[in-house]
Each structure stands twice: as C-alpha cells, then as structure tokens.
Chain A
C-alpha cells in the first residue's frame, strides 16, 4: 500500500467527514437546546437526499443549488415538527420522547420505501469525475466543494447563534431555561426555531451527500446511528465536537475501507463509540 494512496483516502475521508459533521451538528444543536434526542435524524437526512435526487431527475437542478430550498423547507418542517409533536413531550420521560421520534422515523423511512422502492438512487452530475492534482495527491472536486459548503453552513449556524438576537435567546434557553422563561422568552417558539435549524443542517448535509454516495430508504436508520456515534464521540451538545467527531469518523471509515473491507467500516465506527463510552463517556470535546 503506497503512501500516496493512504493520503488520498484519508483526505477523501476528511472531506466526507465534514459533511457528516454538519449532519451531526444538527443533532447536537437540537440536543444542546431542546434536550431531545432526534431519533429521526438520519431518516430526515434520507428525505433530503431523495428531494435532491427527485429534483435532479425531474428538473436537472444541480444539487448544489438544491441546498437553499432544502434548507428552507427543512427549517419549516423542523419548526412544525417541534411545535406540533415534540413540544407536548418536553416534560415526558426520556423513553417516551424516544418512542415518539421512533414512530416518526418508522413512518418516514417506510414512506420513502413506498414512494421510491428499495433500490439505490443517485445523481449524475457532469463534474462528478473532475479532480484536483496537488503534487502526488489527487482530490475529487465534488468532495472539496461539499466540504466547503458544509463548512460554510457550520459557520453560518455559528454566526446565527453568536450575532442574532434570536440566536442569543436560544442560547439563553439552553443555559438557563427557568431564567429564560422569567425574562419572558417564548420558549416553545425558540425550541421550534432550534429544531428547524437542526433540520436545516441535516437537510443541507443530505443534499451534499447525494453528490458523494447513493441513497436507499434503509440508509436512513444507518445515518441516524452514524450521527449518534459522531455526537457522542465529539460530546453531545458541543458544536466543535460534532465537526471534529464527523471528521474522525469520516477518516476512520475511509481507513477501514482500505485496511479491512468496505463492509467493515461501520464496525470501526461502532468500536470507536464503545471505546469512547468506556473511557471518556462525556465525549472527546465535551465542555465540562
């Protein structure tokens, strides 16, 4: 195995990992504020991927342009989901919330199965095979573009939380819920916005990922698990943790793909999760 190949593969994994990171970021943001584990996260991602595939097949919309309508649409879906379904469950025990989102996930993934069948779908863009040559290292153009868009989305999210007034209000809810209520913040509305932002993240990530991999309905639950693994490794509720966890998983998956077999790659992710839970259960980048 040549060094060039290893570098190539790891770089590819790093770039894919940034997209994973954006997906996990959505989960982490929702958990960090609303304290709900979005068990339908990967299924929402699969939904975004199918939206992109359908738009491409029907109207030849470049997936990179789809980022905007999908983000907006998913923000709305997330907001409504939170206000209509999840808000009444805020004070319920954890397993109740789990079951509710599980029900949403079941409906979503089987809805996709009914609508599109079990076969893999993808998009064929004409720049799919372009690549950049940097010395001996060869990087796919789509991967670079996806990684950059994912980074931009993360930066945008960070800016929203940092600089806008409702971002500040959301952080207030996360830091001190009682205090936030006392000063008169509309918590139900802010939770809706947060869930919307989280869904927008996963929507964008899904749209980008259609450029890199095929989508099947069954990939929904798999992405849910992947997102969980990433946020737990990074530290649930930590934004840099989600990105770093995504990169770590992206690279370890890629490394496992060449070191063992492609089918062993998720096994490596699960092993990583078990190791992290065993030795640093609060995650590698937890704030505390």
Chain B
C-alpha cells in the first residue's frame, strides 16, 4: 500500500493538498446533491474510470483499442448472469468477470502481438472481436439473447452492499472508489518499471526492443490490466442499470463513448480522462436541456454535435485539454515528461 501511494507522498505539497481537498469534496458531495445531480456525478465517475482503463493501454502503451465495449459487456454479463442464475454476490462475480475479460484480452493480445499487428490493424481486430461477441450474445439464450437480460430491481433506501442493490448513493461511492482506485493505480504504474517500458513501447517499439524490453510481454500486460479494469466497469454498469442488451452494450458506439473522455481530456495523462468525462457529461446534459427548452425533437443532433466537438478537439488540441491547461497555468505535467 505504501508502495502504491508513494508517488502521492512524494508529490509537491501543493498538488497533494489539492488532491486531498478534491477527494474530501467528492466524499461529501452526496450530502448536497439531489438524485439527478447524483446520477450525473455517477456518470462522470464511471466514464472517468473506463477512460482511465482505456488510457492505460492507449495512452501509456500506445495500443489503440476501439473495442473496449467488449470488456464492458463481457464483465457485465458474467457478473449479472452469475447473480441472477446462481445468486452469487457481485463481489465474487467481479472476480469471474475479470477472469473472463483477462482471458479474452489475452487471446486478442496473443493473436495480435505475436505478428506485430499494431495501429490500424490492431484497432480493427478489437472491433471485430466486439462485433463478433455482440452477434454471439444476440443468440445466447441463457442470458436472454437479443431480448435483453434483466436484474431484479429492488426499491429500497438502505444499501445492500453485499448484493449491490439499493440507492444511487451506494453506486456513487462505488464509482468513486473505482475511479480513485484507477487513478492511484495509473499513477503508480506511471512511476513503475512497467510504466516506463509501456511508454518506451509507445514512443518507439523498435528501440524499446533493441534496449531489451520484452515488448510482447509488456503489451500483453497492458491489455490485460486494461481489460481487467474495464470488466469492473462492466459489473458496475450491470448492477447500476439492471438491464443489458447486446445491441447496446457491445455496440461500437459504446467503445467510442469510452474513448472520447481520455481523448478530449488528454491521452496518456492522469487527469485527462477525469476532465474529459466531466466536460462531456456536462456538455451532453446542457445540450439535452437546451434542446428540450427549445422544443427541438431531433434524434441524432446530439451525436452530430459530439462529432463536431471531437473533430474540433482533435484539430486544435491534438493532445487534449489537460496538457493545454497545464501548460497555460504552469502546472507540473503529470506524466513526468515533455512531449512536443
């Protein structure tokens, strides 16, 4: 534990205090937030968490996955099915979900990295696996097929932590724990040997291999960690929303949703996914409200604006918002390096 927290203990006092204040605010937030704002906060934390999970693989290790919905879906279905069919607590279900996702990620990674499939090809392979699984689950009767899979909804104020049933407040704290955990893990990874290997692979794989980095092994580690974290996000998703449809959860749109936050916030940075998630959720809610107030019924308009935001962001802030902010205000870059 001390080892995990070392980067924070060694951080400058100013940033450490800022982080502690932020954590305290987040811990106290449910006291003042109403149900609607609480659901927004959960959304932000959820996207910050999966964004961080994806960022580990892409931002740190340079492996572009466009099929992370695969791990969300597999994780969600595994834990949900074990709970619904065998009454297994989601805490054990999480372990199963992680095991399934790590196994699948290992297969994908092994297939791809064995032949040095990278970049575009790798991204397409991840999409192919996600789509393949989506269609498979459409026909998978044990978990409801295309008709969907539903968890029993219990209306209760008290939190049943063992079975993850209850008030959104409980899910808020769960999401907060996940997001904070991923944040700590990423920070620790960045300062670990593996983290330096990851970045060496990202920046120049040939050179990394020449310098003696076992690139195959470390790329496998990256995809496995990322898949394991994303599996947890899937479990959270299943128990928070209580319904799962292959068409939705494995959809490529979902994979894209996951990666928007880190891209807009700043790929390969610690705070990027968090800031991106907060900003995107905010924009999305404001847009919904504005469109509603104006009485505009236009399915797709929101997505168009998403597209525009993504395009503008990638054009004018190719490294994302966080690096731009950090440079503007002279904050220390959080990945401990300078990139042009």
Residues of A within 8 A of B (CB): 37, 88, 92, 94-96, 98-100, 102-107, 109-111, 113-114, 118, 217, 221, 225, 228-229, 232, 236, 263-264, 266-267, 270-271, 273-274, 277-278, 281
From B299, which residue of chain A is reached at the shortest CB distance? A113
Interface residues of B in 115-167 (CB under 8 A from A): 115, 117, 119-121, 123-125, 127-129, 131-132, 135-136, 138-139
Report if B256 contacts A (CB, 8 A): yes
Q: Say how far A124's CB is from chain B's closest CB, in angstroms.
A: 26
- State whether A110 touches B120 (Cβ < 8 A): no
On whether the beta carbons of B303 and A274 are closer than 8 Å, the reply is no
Q: Beyond A107-B308, A277-B117, is A99–B314 a contact (Cβ under 8 Å)?
A: yes
CA distance A92 to B120 in the complex (A): 14
Contact B310 A99 (CB under 8 A): yes
Apart from A110-B303, A217-B300, what are 19 other A-B pairs with CB-CB below 8 Å? A92-B318, A95-B58, A98-B64, A99-B314, A103-B311, A106-B256, A106-B306, A107-B308, A109-B300, A110-B301, A113-B303, A114-B298, A228-B127, A232-B121, A263-B138, A273-B128, A277-B112, A277-B117, A277-B121
Known: A100-B315, A267-B135. A94 touches B304 (CB 8 A): no
- CA of A271 to CA of B128 in the docked complex: distance in angstroms? 8
Q: Indicate if the CB atoms of B111 and A277 lie closer than 8 Å.
A: yes
Q: A229, A271, A281: which contacts B117 (Cβ < 8 A)? A: A281
- Chain A residues with Cβ under 8 A from B111's Cβ? 274, 277-278
By the criterion CB–CB under 8 Å, are A103 and B125 in contact? no
Q: When the two chains form the complex, which single residue of A103, A118, A217, A264 contacts B135, counting CB atoms closer than 8 Å?
A: A264
Report the bound CA distance from A113 to B318 in whole Å: 29
Pairs across A and B, CB under 8 Å, 5 listed: A99-B263, A104-B311, A106-B304, A228-B124, A277-B111
CA distance A107 to B306 in the complex (A): 8
Q: Which residues of B contact A270 (CB under 8 A)?
A: 128-129, 131-132, 135
Determine the residue in chain A with the shortest Cβ distance to B64: A95
Pick the 8 closest A-B CB pairs, nearest first.
Answer: A106-B307, A103-B311, A110-B300, A113-B300, A107-B307, A110-B303, A270-B132, A103-B310
CA distance A118 to B300 in the complex (A): 10
Which positions 252-309 of chain B face chain A at CB distance < 8 Å?
Answer: 252, 256, 263, 267, 298-301, 303-304, 306-308
Residues of B within 8 A of A102 (CB): 256, 307, 310
- Point out the residues of chain A lying under 8 angstroms from B139, CB to CB: 263-264
Near A by CB (< 8 A), chain B positions 315-339 give 315, 318
Contacts of A92 in B (CB 8 A): 318
CB pair A96 B318 closer than 8 Å: yes
Task: Identify the closest chain B residue to A112 (Cβ).
Answer: B300
Docked CA distance A105–B124 (Å): 16
CA distance A101 to B191 in the complex (A): 34
A281 to B307, CA, bound (A): 31
A284 to chain B, nearest CB (A): 15
Q: Assuming the A-B contacts A98-B64, A102-B256, A107-B308, are A274 and B298 also in contact, with contact meaning beta carbons closer than 8 angstroms in the complex? A: no
CB-based contact B308/A266 at 8 Å: no
Mark each residue of chain B from 93 to 131: 1 if its CB lies under 8 Å from any CB of chain A, else 0: 000000000000000000110010101110111011101
Q: How far is the CA of A52 from the CA of B42 in the complex (A)?
A: 45
CA distance A100 to B311 in the complex (A): 5
Residues in A neighbouring B307, C-beta threshold 8 A:
102-107, 110
Q: How far apart are the CA atoms of A136 and B237 in the complex, in Å?
A: 55
B188, chain A: closest CB distance, angstroms: 25
Inter-subunit contact B300/A103 (CB<8 Å): no
Tell me the minimal C-beta distance from B146 to chain A in angstroms. 8
Q: How far is the CB of B254 from chain A (nearest CB, A)?
A: 12
Residues of B within 8 A of A221 (CB): 252
Known: A106-B310, A229-B128. A37 touches B120 (CB 8 A): yes
Instruction: Report the separation of the CA atoms of residues A170 and B306 in the bound assembly, to the nearest whole angstrom.
Output: 35
Question: Cα distance A118–B128 when bound, in Å?
Answer: 24
Interface mask (B198-221 → A, CB under 8 Å = 1, otherwise 0)? 000000000000000000000000
Residues of A within 8 A of B263 (CB): 99
Q: How far is the CB of A175 from chain B (nearest CB, A)?
A: 20
Contacts of B303 in A (CB 8 A): 106, 109-110, 113
Residues of B within 8 A of A98 (CB): 64, 66, 120, 123
Closest to B264 in A: A99
User: Would you list which residues of chain B between 204 and 255 have a CB under 8 Å from chain A?
Assistant: 252
Would you list which residues of chain B between 53 and 103 have a CB under 8 Å from chain A? 58, 64, 66
Closest B residue, CB atoms, query A273 = B128
Question: In the complex, what's the smallest C-beta–C-beta distance from B104 to chain A, in angstroms?
Answer: 12
- How many angstroms between the C-alpha atoms of A183 and B185 in the bound complex? 53
B residues less than 8 Å from A263 (CB atoms): 135, 138-139
Which partner residue on chain A sits nearest B127 by CB separation?
A: A225
* Whole-angstrom CA separation of A261 from B263 in the bound complex: 39
**Bound-state Cα–Cα, A110 to B119, Å:** 27
Q: Which residues of A contact B310 (CB under 8 A)?
A: 99, 102-103, 106
The complex places the Cα of A270 from the Cα of B139 at a distance, in Å, of 16
A98 to B124 alpha-carbon distance, docked (Å): 11
In whole angstroms, what is the CA distance A109 to B252 when docked? 13
Distance in Å from the Cβ of A133 to the closest Cβ of chain B?
35
Contacts of B127 in A (CB 8 A): 225, 228
- The distance in angstroms between the C-alpha atoms of A103 and B259, with both chains bound, is 13
Q: Are B300 and A94 in contact (CB under 8 A)?
A: no
Query: Given A114-B301, A274-B128: A94 and B135 within 8 A (CB)?
Result: no
Cα–Cα distance between A236 and B119 once the two chains are bound (Å): 13
Q: Given the complex, which residues of B lie within 8 Å of A110, measured CB to CB?
A: 300-301, 303-304, 307
Q: Which residues of B contact A277 (CB under 8 A)?
A: 111-112, 117, 121, 125, 128
Query: Given A110-B304, A114-B298, A274-B128, does the pair A267, B136 have CB atoms closer than 8 Å?
Result: yes
Residue pair A111, B136 in contact (C-beta under 8 Å) = no
